[in-house]
């Protein structure tokens, strides 16, 4: 919080570090992520270090569990629920955001810090924490969708390009009607539960993957497998050996053919010579008979 004395701030930082290390040491399957401290410090400020330690550990193995994996795959999958929610309520805003190719990364810090990193008024932060603690772990993404939908006109009036829309949505107004938005998020959760959006969220992930844009990517990947490459090289080597063998045997075959042709030519030549010789012998006699 702003205005806190330095000595009090340093003491708070030490307590914050102790809580985080305690949770991670007791739960080696969990991994720290940038933004985790925003959630921990909120509990520390409200209930103190002892109770905050117990609450944060329980929360880290439940609501925050997907954020604390070694990779961000599950976190990105949760973000994929954002656009289907918006599409169900306002297809025009959804299509505009899709055309701008803004994606969902603008809501990443909202989700993984429960808005604690982006809201300046601590009262609003703790109010949202009460709401999220009492609800399904995906409720923060519903609340993120509600904020985007609330700013419908701002979004549609923005330039339809990624940079402009991302800049607009990244800046959350500090004067939002939080109670109204909380109520609206709860209504959307009941109206469009995660189970109904799961398929579309999975489709969003598949379409966003760069590899999926290449229709022959899977085939190309198969061709790059080591065993496939070895078989291909083996076939090429066999073809090479066959070509070499063909080249080596080809002259011998041609030689036999040439000898046969030469033999036939000589035989024909001899026969033609004999015919000519015979013709020369009887031709004068034949001429005398025709021209006495």
Q: From residue 80, how far is each of 111, 121, 159, 198 by CA, in Å?
A: 12, 28, 23, 9
What pLDDT is recorded for position 2? 76
pLDDT, tens only, 159-206: 999 999 999 999 999 889 999 999 999 999 999 999 888 887 777 655
Average pLDDT score over the chain: 82
271 has a pLDDT exceeding 80: no
Q: What is the CA 30 to chain-centroid distance, rounded? A: 24
Q: From residue 230, how far is each of 117, 220, 226 by CA, in Å?
A: 53, 15, 6
DSSP H stretches of helix in 62-121 = 73-79, 82-89, 91-100, 108-113
- Mutual angle of helices 122-133 and 178-191, in 10-degree steps: 20
What pLDDT is recorded for position 199? 80
Arithmetic mean of pLDDT, 245-268: 56
What pLDDT is recorded for position 152? 96
Arithmetic mean of pLDDT, 56-84: 95
- What token pair was written down for 197? 């959006």
What pLDDT is recorded for position 160? 94
| Separation between Cα atoms, residue 208 and residue 84, nearest integer Å | 14
Q: Residue 221: which pLDDT band, with cuts at 50, 70 and 90?
A: very low
Q: Which domains does the chain have, with CATH numbers?
A: 6-67 (1.10.8.1310), 72-192 (1.10.472.80)
- DSSP letter for 107, please: G
Arithmetic mean of pLDDT, 116-123: 92
Q: Which of 46-50, 107-111, 196-200 has the lowest mean pLDDT?
A: 196-200
What pLDDT is recorded for position 3? 81
Q: What phi, psi does 281 have (nearest 5°)?
A: -75, -40
Tokens 């579309």 belong to 200
Q: From residue 187, how far is each of 60, 80, 89, 110, 213 by CA, in Å?
A: 26, 20, 12, 20, 36
- What token pair was written down for 53? 């330690």
Q: What is the CA 40 to chain-centroid distance, rounded? A: 31
| Separation between Cα atoms, residue 233 and residue 247, nearest integer Å | 21
| Separation between Cα atoms, residue 82 and residue 146, nearest integer Å | 10
Q: Residue 137: which pLDDT band, with cuts at 50, 70 and 90?
A: very high
pLDDT, tens only, 225-237: 455 555 666 677 7
Q: Which residue has the higher pLDDT, 254 or 137?
A: 137
Q: From residue 184, how far is each of 178, 181, 187, 190, 251 by CA, in Å?
A: 10, 5, 5, 10, 88
- What is the pTM for the complete model shown? 0.69
Q: What phi, psi does 239 have (nearest 5°)?
A: -65, -40
284 has a pLDDT exceeding 70: no
Q: Which residue has the higher pLDDT, 59 or 242?
A: 59
Q: From residue 77, how far is each of 106, 202, 245 by CA, in Å?
A: 14, 7, 58
| Separation between Cα atoms, residue 31 and residue 13, nearest integer Å | 19
**66 contacts 78 by C-beta, under 8 angstroms:** yes
215 has a pLDDT exceeding 60: no
């Amino acid at each position: 919080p702003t205005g806190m004395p330095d000595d009090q701030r340093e003491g708070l930082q030490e307590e914050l570090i102790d809580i985080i290390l305690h949770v991670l040491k007791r739960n080696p399957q969990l991994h720290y992520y940038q933004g985790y401290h925003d959630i921990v410090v909120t509990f520390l400020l409200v209930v103190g270090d002892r109770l905050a330690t117990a609450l944060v550990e329980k929360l880290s193995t439940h609501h925050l569990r997907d954020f604390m994996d070694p990779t961000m795959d599950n976190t990105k999958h949760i973000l994929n629920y954002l656009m289907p929610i918006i599409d169900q309520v306002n297809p025009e805003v959804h299509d505009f955001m899709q055309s701008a190719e803004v994606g969902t990364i603008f809501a990443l810090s909202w989700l993984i810090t429960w808005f604690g990193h982006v809201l300046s008024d601590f009262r609003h932060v703790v109010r949202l924490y009460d709401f999220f603690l009492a609800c399904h772990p995906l409720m923060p993404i519903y609340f993120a969708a509600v904020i985007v939908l609330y700013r419908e006109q701002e979004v549609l009036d923005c330039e339809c390009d990624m940079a402009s829309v991302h800049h607009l949505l990244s800046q959350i107004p500090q004067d939002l009607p939080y109670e109204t938005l909380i109520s609206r998020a709860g209504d959307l959760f009941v109206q469009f539960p995660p189970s109904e959006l799961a398929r579309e969220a999975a489709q969003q992930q598949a379409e966003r993957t760069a590899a999926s844009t290449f229709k022959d990517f899977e085939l190309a990947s198969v061709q790059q497998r080591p065993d496939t490459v070895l078989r291909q090289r083996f076939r090429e080597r066999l073809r090479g050996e066959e070509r070499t063998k063909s080249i080596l045997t080809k002259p011998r075959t041609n030689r036999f053919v040439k000898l046969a042709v030469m033999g036939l030519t000589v035989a024909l030549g001899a026969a033609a010579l004999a015919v000519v010789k015979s013709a020369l012998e009887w031709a004068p006699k034949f001429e005398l008979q025709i021209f006495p």
